[in-house]
Amino acid sequence: MNAKVSVLFYARRAKKTTDGLIPIYQRITVDGKRIEVSTKRYVESNKWSVEQGRMKGNTTEARSLNTYLEMLKAKVYEYQKEIIQEGLEISFDTMRSKVLGTSENKRMLITIFQDHNNKVEALLGDEFAPGTLERYKTSLKHTQDFLQWKYKISDIDIKQIDHAFICDYEFYLRSERKCNNNTAVKYIKNFGKIIRLCMANGWLDKNPFVNYKAKVKEVERVFLTWDEIIAVQEKVFTSERLNLVKDIFLFSCYTGLAYIDVKQLTHKNISIGIDGERWIFKNRQKTETRSSIPLLPPAMAIINKYKDHPQCLIEEKLLPVLSNQKMNSYLKEIADACGINKELTFHIARHTFATTVTLTNGVPIESVSKMLGHKNLRTTQHYAKILDRKVSDDMLLLKEKLSALHQQASKKAAGE
């Protein structure tokens, strides 16, 4: 709770100078405690009004001195405003630090966050992808909006960030920003990186995330079945643009590459693999992990189809890829035309490769993980949902083996 602050001026008659002048002092009272500082101004004893706390009269000298005292008084209330903006409570200690100029050099959250984002932007293309920068910019904006919503301030000392701050921030994201669970957790994790940065620099003694727990909920991954893949593959559109988008989407279904990786492909990414066949070798944009993918015949056919396309020749790219926004817009038309009742996006192609194209057909998850460019199997498991049909096929084989074992046991028992 903020303390009450009052300001007055008085003259110390006991400290009269040799020429008969008395010094004027400023008294700032904060919840009954006094801060007294010299104004470095003097006045004749008979010209000072004890009741009004100012110099008597309307002379030029009086007006000048009284204006100066009003400026000092206004400065106190300016300090009060600064304390509130810094997210601190108005107390005797915080006010005294401001008045006496003994405030420590504070580390401010938004300043640190912006500096972090500036460094990410400077390393764009080398260590960070554009999407990463955009994510941190959005996180910074949410953090700034939260400070205004909760505290009516534009920045805050990082030492004021505690467990309650993080919980309130999460509540704000869920209630005011209407973020779902995973989106809210993502923004909190981005914020957590800034806190870890502060910890690493020794600016924070205690990690406010110590007792905080947030869990990402597993999202049902959407993918196409074989029937849906064939429906898209066999559909011929009158629009050349729709046929182009269809082909590039199918290329991703047969390679598992994300949009940005398909867009960046050049002929230099195609080489002969260990089996003497053509493979795609590429470091993923998102993780810089190397993907090694044998080219299936449908994917190779699409490459050959567009090898002489003007855009490919001019840009020296493998495929004439449109913007992600346009691709997803056209994919909605393709889904409608093919009778696919799913929210079709380009990323669904990657899920489709992991499930319908590879795992369902018996490709080991370790191989799928390597082709997807994942660093660990846990990530692959999120993408690669084993279909019920695959489980059914596996169990059918088990039933047949068990049946054969039972028959062998029965014959053996009968023979005995």
**Per-residue pLDDT tens listing for the chain (416 residues):** 577 889 999 999 888 888 889 999 999 999 888 999 899 899 998 999 999 999 999 999 999 999 999 999 999 989 888 888 877 788 888 888 888 876 556 788 999 999 999 999 998 877 777 778 889 999 999 999 999 999 888 888 898 899 999 999 999 999 999 998 989 999 999 999 999 999 998 888 889 999 888 777 766 778 899 999 999 999 999 999 999 999 999 999 999 998 989 999 999 999 998 899 999 998 876 666 788 899 999 999 999 999 999 999 999 999 999 998 999 999 999 999 999 999 899 989 998 998 889 888 888 888 888 888 887 777 677 665 555 566 677 788 888 888 888 888 777 777 65
How many CA within 13 A on the CB side of residue 170? 17
- 3-state DSSP helix/strand/coil % of the chain, to nearest 5: 55, 10, 30
Buried b (16+ CB within 10 A) or exposed e, 290-299: ebebbbbebb
How many CA within 13 A on the CB side of residue 274? 2
In angstroms, the CA 44 to CA 60 distance is 15
pTM of the model: 0.56
Query: Which fold is adopted by the domain 226-385?
Result: hpI Integrase; Chain A (1.10.443)
* Closest C-alpha among 340, 81, 385 to residue 220: 385
Domain ranges for the chain, please list them.
5-100, 109-200, 226-385
Q: Across the chain, which distance is largest between two alpha carbons, in Å?
A: 133
